[in-house]
């Protein structure tokens, strides 16, 4: 009896993995074939980094703000990665809402597709885009002086943070999509995340802030995540700083996956 149960569980797990891969492939291809989805996530962070680097590049000359021999562009590299990941994560949830609105989700529910695979497929697409974004920004900004002093380990930390943050933000967006079924509602989540990004150290050192803005930035978990990434870029590979950044991302993942799973179960219950 036990062997039969184990065999059934293995088959179910295998089906979930295979179906998740197929749905992930669909999500990635659909995203790649829609330039309106990924061009803003690529161009806008680069424009913002270029403007901030030009306008506030003199900050690098202030003693004690960033390490000697580094540039403000290096300081902004983690912000560009996070910003691009934010676009991708929100778009992933928006695509799930589009599937719900267009009826594709109902066809999946009516078919023998594993329920976890529906969520896994969409989130895997967001994670793949986050990985590509992190690699892209490092490569494009490198000729302009955006080096990573942490070397290969430091660059790997940036990639891991990007993938985990894509999963976390993508799962929150997917939960909103399952809850509302409206792409517009998911897109409305982006300004909130963007405000949190600006209320952090992503674009400006907290040492040069003052008053309530400084206190809020220092308490913002995004600041902890960005600062941990920035250590890899400006100084050297630091396991402790990497653990802080990854820990923040894992916390977002736990919150997002819990929310997305519950909202998907709720919608499946309504659909059935």
Supply 190's token pair: 């982006």
Residue 93 has pLDDT above 60, yes or no: yes
State the sign of the Cα–Cα–Cα–Cα dihedral 160, 168, 121, 37.
Answer: negative
Q: Looking at residue 14, what is its pLDDT?
A: 55
Rounded Cα–Cα distance for residues 43 and 53 (Å): 15
Supply 149's token pair: 């002093």
Give the least confident one: 15-24, 46-55, 58-67: 15-24
Q: Looking at residue 168, what is its pLDDT?
A: 92
Provide the whole-model pTM: 0.86
Domain positions in the chain: 2-271
Q: What is the mean pLDDT of residues 81-95?
A: 83
Length of the chain counted residue by residue: 272
CB 105 within 8 Å of CB 183: no
Residue whose tokens read 């709720």: 266
Q: Looking at residue 3, what is its pLDDT?
A: 38
Supply 151's token pair: 């070397």
From residue 221, alpha-carbon distances to 172, 186, 197, 227, 252 in Å are 16, 22, 10, 10, 10
pLDDT in tens, 118-160: 788 778 888 888 898 899 999 999 998 889 999 999 999 999 9
């Amino acid at each position: 009896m036990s062997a039969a149960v184990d065999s059934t569980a293995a088959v179910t797990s295998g089906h979930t993995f295979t179906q998740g891969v197929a749905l992930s492939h669909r999500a990635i291809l659909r995203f790649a074939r829609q330039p309106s989805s990924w061009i803003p996530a690529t161009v806008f962070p680069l424009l913002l980094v270029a403007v901030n680097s030009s306008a506030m590049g003199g900050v690098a000359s202030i003693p004690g703000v960033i390490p000697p021999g580094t540039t403000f562009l290096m300081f902004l590299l983690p912000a560009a990665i996070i910003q691009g990941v934010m676009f991708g994560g929100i778009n992933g949830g928006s695509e799930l809402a589009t599937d719900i609105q267009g009826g594709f989700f109902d066809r999946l529910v009516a078919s023998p597709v594993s329920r976890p695979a529906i969520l896994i497929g969409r989130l895997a697409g967001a994670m793949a885009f986050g990985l590509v974004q992190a690699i892209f920004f490092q490569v494009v900004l490198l000729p302009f002086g955006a080096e990573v002093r942490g070397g290969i380990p430091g660059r790997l930390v940036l990639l891991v943070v990007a993938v985990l943050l894509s999963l976390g933000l993508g799962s929150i967006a997917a939960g909103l999509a399952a809850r509302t079924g409206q792409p517009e509602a998911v897109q409305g989540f982006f300004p909130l995340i963007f405000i949190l990004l600006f209320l952090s150290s992503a674009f400006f050192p907290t040492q040069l802030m003052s008053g309530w803005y400084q206190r809020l930035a220092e308490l913002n978990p995004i600041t902890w995540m960005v600062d941990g990434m920035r250590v890899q870029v400006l100084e050297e590979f630091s396991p402790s700083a990497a653990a802080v950044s990854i820990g923040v991302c894992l916390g977002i993942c736990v919150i997002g996956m819990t929310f997305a799973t519950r909202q998907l179960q709720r919608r499946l219950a309504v659909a059935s």
